[in-house]
Amino acid sequence: MMDVLWNLGAFLLALGILIAAHEFGHFWVARRCGVYIERFSIGFGKALWRKVGKDGTEYTLAMIPLGGYVKMLDGRVDEVPEHRQHLAFNNKTLWQRSAIVAAGPVANFIFAIAAYWIVYLIGVPAVRPVIGEVVPQSIAAEAGIRSGMELKSISGIKTADWESANMAMISHIGDKEMVITVTEPDAEYEVQRTLDLTGWSFDPESERVLATLGITPYSPPITLSISQLVDDGAAIAAGLRLNDKIVAIDNTPIVKWEEVVEAVRSKPDQSMLVEVEREGENVTLSLTPAVKKLANGDMIGYAGFAPKVEAWPESYQINLQFGPLEAVSKAVEKTWQLTTLTFDMVGKLVTGDIAIKNLSGPISIAKGAGMTADYGIVYFLGFLALISVNLGIVNLLPLPVLDGGHLLFFAIEAITRRPVSERVQDIGYRVGSAILVALMAVALFNDFTRL
């Protein structure tokens, strides 16, 4: 229950910040263009808080925090006295109206840059994208990718860490090839490798992009010593202790931790003999793993312990931290990468290269908000930047109910030299609303199937 409340609180905070940024973009440009603002509202419905400023604008925080709006003086909506006609939105020039509408999505991109700027000022701990293992006969192996290589760029996009590498790889869904620049193990020079993607199958919902290419990132060795025990778990009940080193299971010698995992998972609610080395002596214990039900209905064993992992080598650790000026360029670069990736994903969603089941809705966003907030301010800001870019792009889609739809009408007006008729606009709003509601319904359905 506490997790749900935490996720909900983080979601509402994130949503409030992003809505405020978007609507402030409309508000600020409208003011600069001489439009009178009647109300600036975060949320819909009944007002929880309101204040009328010296400028006459009513600032409102409303009950339903799923959006916001800037109500401008507009002769198409209300009667406007003659002496105030020059303050109405509909009487402004085409470029002014276009600027006001476009300012919301633009504000989202600016917010993302600002968020990443703060992130890079504080610094983000990361690890270099060094390849650990390559699956034989995989796409990566066929391209000549080998263990120990470090990814430097993917199709021209720099990959300082695994997050950047994953994003760049995902953008190639539906493409025929991927060009990767790597350094050879223990060498300074760079070489290029071309991955043939014609037979690549990748489902973002259930698979990791690296695994589908046959790549496993380097990670420090996992030992056979126990470093964590879950309270009241099966491991504690069996008598296992911290620092015990697992030697054998059911009289079969154990060489690596994956063998322990496989043995435990394969015996839910079944007794097994675990031999451990403890303070120089071997001790044999009887362990009965608890039963854990997976999302697909399968039952697996769960013991409630974790191994000790050796520390990362210092040479593999990096801190993405920059000075004020360099952080600006890095923030712009990161935002641009996110923007191009998102546009690519929208395009591939339309062409069918990405299944519609991969759409995420508010529940998935809430989980992401809660998880990143739990990790700290740097990760939460990165999450806000990601969602802000997505919000900006979604609002630029040419659906009449969105900012992009208004811009489409303005573009038609610029070409035909006359406004789009109210009848055509009304039909467009109805169709756009229906498409948007359908997409939201699909996203919500996908969210519930993931619960």
Q: Cα angle vertex 440, ends 439, 446, to 5°?
A: 90
Q: How far is CA 52 from CA 44, 64, 394, 408, in A?
A: 17, 20, 31, 34
For 247-279, write each residue's pLDDT tens digit.
999 999 999 999 999 999 999 999 999 999 999
In the residue annotation, 23 being an active-site residue is answered as yes
| pLDDT in the model for residue 141 | 92
**Position 114 pLDDT exceeds 90:** yes
Could you give the CA distance from residue 182 to residue 192 in angstroms, rounded to a whole number? 6
C-alpha 74, offset from chain centre: 37
Could you give the CA distance from residue 402 to residue 431 in angstroms, rounded to a whole number? 12
- Pairing between strand 252-253 and 245-249? antiparallel
Strand partners, 366: none
Superfamily of domain 124-220+311-320, CATH level 4: PDZ domain (2.30.42.10)
What is the phi/psi pair of residue 420, to 5°? -65, 135
**Active-site option among 23, 38, 184, 277:** 23
Domains in the chain: boundaries: 1-6+94-122+322-451, 124-220+311-320, 222-309
DSSP characters over 163-192: HHHHHHHHTTTT-SEEEEEEE-TT---EEE
Contacts of 89 (CB under 8 A, 6+ apart): 30, 35, 72, 73, 74, 97, 100
Strand partners, 377: none
| pLDDT in the model for residue 3 | 65
CATH fold, domain 222-309, is Pdz3 Domain (2.30.42)
0.85 exceeded by pTM = no
**Average pLDDT of span 323-332:** 94
For 34-66, write each residue's pLDDT tens digit.
999 999 998 888 888 989 888 889 999 888 877
Mean pLDDT over each residue of the chain, to the nearest integer:
86
The answer to whether 124-220+311-320 and 222-309 have equal CATH topology is yes
For the ranges 234-238, 309-313, 442-446, which has the lowest average pLDDT?
442-446
Indicate left, alpha or beta for 243 from its phi (over 0: left) and psi (-120 to 50: alpha). Answer: left
